[in-house]
């Protein structure tokens, strides 16, 4: 029953629409929830029925994946500690006005929704996946590769595609080369300051990045937008008992 139930919970539940940006509590007819640090004497499992869930060694990402049908790599806004904290949960939550939640196909979706909102204070929104476009502002500033017999310090010659890949790693966000300039250039530029961060639907470039990039190389970055969707965690609160034991519950 355990494997069958876990598979059914992940793939057969009817999912709710995304909530609005508010931390309102979901009204319930019954709310019996026990969330505790993981008992390592019990193996990992997740099973239940329409109005109950029992799970060991799960994470918040597991529950969010069930509720919103997003893969973990498309869920952003959590710290590594919040993503990795494991816990056990036993819950029975019934929607108001439902006479027979055990056989109601919507009861399970309601239960997970109430569990996340009422006990983790979860607030999320959906957004397109942002990225940065690398463009030319002054091509004359791009440093040419030094001649083979040059005595100046050697700087590796790279293409602008390779430079965009470097910026992707340094800025913590995807950078696409949109300059359409062929050839290689002696680009020794590295960004060692704060990375680009995402706040809601907006990119927050670190101060000084744009003028430094423009002055050094005649290049600039402008925000782009793709059709790939992300689920952004705007707010979450772990139960007190998990906050007190979070370090001990994180996997090795």
Which backbone phi and psi does 73 adopt, to 5 degrees?
A: -75, -10
Query: Residue 7 contacts by C-beta under 8 Å, 6 or more apart in sequence?
Result: none
pLDDT at 121: 94
The total of other beta-carbon atoms located within 10 Å of residue 228's CB is 10
All structural domains of the chain with their residue ranges = 2-122+236-249, 127-230
Distance CA 156, CA 3 (A): 54
Question: What tens-digit pLDDT sequence spans the chain (252 residues)?
Answer: 334 433 333 333 323 333 344 456 899 999 999 999 999 888 899 998 889 999 999 999 999 999 998 888 888 888 888 888 999 999 999 999 888 898 888 899 999 999 999 999 999 988 777 788 999 999 999 999 988 766 666 788 999 999 999 998 898 888 989 999 999 999 999 998 888 887 655 678 888 999 999 999 999 999 886 667 888 888 999 988 887 665 544 444
Task: Please tell me the distance from the alpha carbon of residue 14 to that of residue 195, in angstroms, as a whole number.
Answer: 38
Paired tokens of 20:
């609005």
pLDDT at 195: 87
Is 6:62 a contact under the CB 8 Å cutoff? no
Q: Residue 12's pLDDT is what?
A: 30
Position 32 scores a pLDDT of 95
**Separation of alpha carbons 8 and 47, rounded Å:** 9
Give residue 18's pLDDT.
37
Query: What's the rounded Cα separation, in Å, for the pair 213 and 216?
Result: 5
Identify which of 89, 145, 139, 152 has the alpha carbon closest to the alpha carbon of residue 116: 89
What pLDDT sits at residue 151?
Answer: 64
Give the pLDDT of residue 87. Answer: 94
- Residue among 106, 111, 112, 27 nearest 67 (CA): 112
Judge if pTM exceeds 0.85: no
């Amino acid at each position: 029953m355990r494997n069958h139930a876990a598979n059914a919970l992940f793939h057969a539940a009817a999912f709710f629409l995304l909530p609005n940006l508010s931390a309102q509590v979901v009204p319930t007819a019954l709310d019996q929830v026990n969330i505790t640090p993981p008992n390592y004497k019990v193996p990992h499992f997740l099973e239940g029925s329409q109005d109950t869930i029992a799970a060991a060694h799960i994470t918040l990402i597991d529950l969010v994946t069930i509720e919103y049908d997003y893969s973990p790599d498309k869920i952003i806004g959590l710290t590594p500690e919040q993503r990795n904290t494991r816990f056990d949960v036993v819950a029975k939550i019934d929607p108001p006005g439902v006479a027979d939640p055990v056989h109601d196909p919507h009861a399970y979706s309601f239960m997970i929704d109430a569990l996340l909102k009422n006990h983790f204070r979860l607030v999320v929104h959906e957004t397109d996946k942002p990225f940065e476009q690398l463009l030319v502002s002054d091509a004359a500033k791009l440093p040419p590769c030094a001649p083979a017999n040059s005595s100046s310090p050697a700087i590796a010659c790279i293409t602008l595609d390779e430079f965009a890949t470097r910026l992707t790693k340094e800025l913590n966000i995807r950078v696409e080369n949109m300059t359409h300039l062929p050839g290689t250039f002696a680009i020794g530029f590295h960004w060692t300051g704060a990375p680009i961060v995402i706040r809601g639907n907006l990119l927050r470039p670190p101060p000084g990045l744009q003028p430094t990039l423009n002055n050094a190389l005649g290049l600039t970055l402008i925000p782009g937008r793709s059709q790939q969707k992300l689920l952004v965690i705007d707010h979450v609160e772990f139960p007190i008992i998990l906050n007190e034991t979070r370090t001990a519950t994180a996997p090795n």
